[in-house]
Amino acid sequence: MIFEPELECMDVEARRAVQGERLRALVARVAERVPLYRERLAASHVKAGDIRGLGDLTRLPLTRKTDLRDTYPFGMLAVPRRDCIRVHASSGTTGRPTVVAYTTADTDLFARVCARSLAMAGAEPGMMLHNAYGYGLFTGGLGIHYGGERLGMTVVPVSGGMTERQLLLIQDLKPDVITCTPSYALTLVAECEKRGIAPDALSLRYALHGAEPWTDGMRVQIDRGLGVRCTNIYGLSEIIGPGVSNECVEARDGSHVMEDHFYPEILHPETGEPVPDGGEGVLVITTLTKEALPLLRYWTGDITSLTRGTCACGRTLVKMALIKGRTDDMLIIRGVNVYPSQVESVLARVEELAPHYRLVVTREKNLDALEVQAELAGPFAREIVRETLSEEIVEADHQLRALRGRITKLLHDTIGVSMRVTLLPPGGAPRSEGGKLNRVTDERPRA
Ligand code: DLL
């Protein structure tokens, strides 16, 4: 079903007019209420009245995460703090988190875009939603929770972790839809396999995964392992949380961006110049309707591309490809740009491997080096009972040695740079305990 058909299937030109109108109002609002924007607009000689529509968007300054950090916690609010009814924060790995705030109208918008996302993914009123995104400062839990309620679903607010209890609830309550990170979905798949629970014994039909990069290889594993048709949900706290875009279950070939509220552009990662449709670059988003924390041209750092046209599902909303990675996750290995997701896609093509891996970046003689630790799949590794899989064992076993050689060649031929490959026994690579999973260990000395 389509949650807001008149908006999601709107004529593209009519939508552009609405977007242009919203952009004009937005610029006037931030120029008046947010000191940082007032100064930036003045510095770029843009007066609010100069902005007449989307065609003027590139005249506006970019906003970066550092702007939110520099004005921490509430310096970029466009409303008095007392008018905000909720705050969330993004999980800063170092230092202070980025705090975001919502007015009543913002939480209403948040619920609506999450309801749209759930409907895109196949959910319908009356279905039951097992929401295994973390509740708390993270936007995933509460964001999707209120989206489910808005759609008219029965929401089970499980939150992340405690896999055994999750499986028990799934078996007993019989939900139709599950939401969690893709890495946690794989943890659930593995747990089902361990307990001999067949996918068709589960009631689940649809799944929405996001909050971290994943690939079509993982999609196959999750579809098969949980007996679902899973789709990608994308979002970030600075813009609203989950619900910035979602794939439709009909096509699953790109996530429809809720562009009547979050206007996307793709810019070149180094020059910042606009990239034409279909080309890859950094996703930059302008929040057209948010009240508490409106952002002009926010540099997400996420690499993707946009495609337009009416979709099989009937929606006219622009689609974005699966996120390839973040500009700050990009590794430069002997001059070649490498994203962890590219390595993941290659590993997914090797049937002897499980969908779990770890990347270790080191520095050898002033050059970055990448070690790919690939985990063997259970069936292939049946004979390997050892806890560790040492260099000597791999060398002595012609099957393992040949496999390692094949993976090394495949990575080199596909990505164009040599990487050291080591094999891990089943269970050797990190697993998600419920939240986002970090698969990259950076052991380079800090500059
Ligand atoms: O991760 C919001 C979210 C919750 C999205 C639940 C989807 C589902 P943050 O913690 O602020 O917000 O992290 C945002 O996570 O800039 C991306 O780098 C990454 N990310 C989010 N969704 C995806 C996705 C939430 N579908 C950051 N694919 C973003 C790849 C994603 N990366």
Instruction: State how far the alpha carbon of 33 is from the alpha carbons of 38, 66, 190, 294, in Å.
Output: 8, 19, 51, 10
| The pLDDT of residue 392 | 83
Q: Which residue type sits at 37?
A: Y
Dist CA 150 CA 164 (whole Å): 29
| The pLDDT of residue 234 | 98
For ligand 1, atom 6: residue with the closest CA: 140
Q: What is the pTM of this model?
A: 0.94
Q: How many CB atoms lie within 10 A of CB 369?
A: 19
The token pair that represents 346 in the structure block:
């290659």
Using the predicted structure, report yes or no on whether residue 46 has a pLDDT greater than 60: yes
Residue-by-residue DSSP string for 169-197:
HHHHH--SEEEE-HHHHHHHHHHHHHHT-
With the most atoms of ligand 1 within 8 angstroms of its CB, the residue from 181, 208, 212 to mutate is 212
Note if the bond before 157 is cis, omega within 30 degrees.
no
Cα of 49 from ligand 1 centre, angstroms: 34
For ligand 1, atom 28: residue with the closest CA: 213
Using the predicted structure, report yes or no on whether residue 386 has a pLDDT greater than 80: no
What are the b/e assignments for 404-414, b being 16+ CB within 10 Å? beebeeebeee
Helix (H, G, I), strand (E, B) or coil at 235: strand
Report yes or no: 394 and 415 within 8 Å, Cβ to Cβ. Answer: no
Q: Can you list the domains of the chain with their CATH numbers?
A: 1-327 (3.40.50.12780), 331-442 (3.30.300.30)
Dist CA 301 CA 304 (whole Å): 10
With the most atoms of ligand 1 within 8 angstroms of its CB, the residue from 234, 255, 293 to mutate is 234
Residue-wise pLDDT for 203-231, tens only, equals: 999 999 999 999 999 999 999 999 999 99
Backbone phi, psi, residue 5, to 5°? -55, -40
Report yes or no: 130 and 176 within 8 Å, Cβ to Cβ. Answer: no
Helix (H, G, I), strand (E, B) or coil at 404: helix
Which of 287, 240, 294 lies closest to 264 in space, CA to CA? Answer: 287
What is the band of 368 on the pLDDT scale with cuts at 50, 70, 90? confident
For the chain, the distance separating the N- and C-terminal CA atoms, rounded to the nearest angstrom, is: 52
The token pair that represents 393 in the structure block:
């064992």
For ligand 1, atom 4: residue with the closest CA: 140
Pairing relation of β-strands 128-131 and 177-180? Answer: parallel
What is the band of 382 on the pLDDT scale with cuts at 50, 70, 90? low
CB within 6 Å of ligand 1 — which residues?
90-91, 133, 138-140, 210-213, 232-237, 241-242, 300, 302, 323, 326
For ligand 1, atom 15: residue with the closest CA: 211
Dist CA 262 CA 306 (whole Å): 14
What is the band of 58 on the pLDDT scale with cuts at 50, 70, 90? very high
Residue-wise pLDDT for 279-315, tens only, equals: 999 999 999 999 999 999 999 999 999 999 989 999 9
Cα of 235 from ligand 1 centre, angstroms: 5
| The pLDDT of residue 83 | 98
For the CA of 301, the nearest atom of ligand 1: 16
Average pLDDT over residues 5-20: 98
pLDDT more than 70, % of the chain: 97
Residue-wise pLDDT for 97-138, tens only, equals: 899 999 999 999 999 999 999 999 999 999 999 999 999 999
Report yes or no: 141 and 133 within 8 Å, Cβ to Cβ. Answer: yes
Kind and range of the H or E element at 267? strand 262-267
For the CA of 322, the nearest atom of ligand 1: 28
Pairing relation of β-strands 255-257 and 241-247? Answer: antiparallel
Backbone phi, psi, residue 306, to 5°? -115, 145
Dist CA 33 CA 145 (whole Å): 31
Pairing relation of β-strands 420-424 and 367-376? Answer: parallel
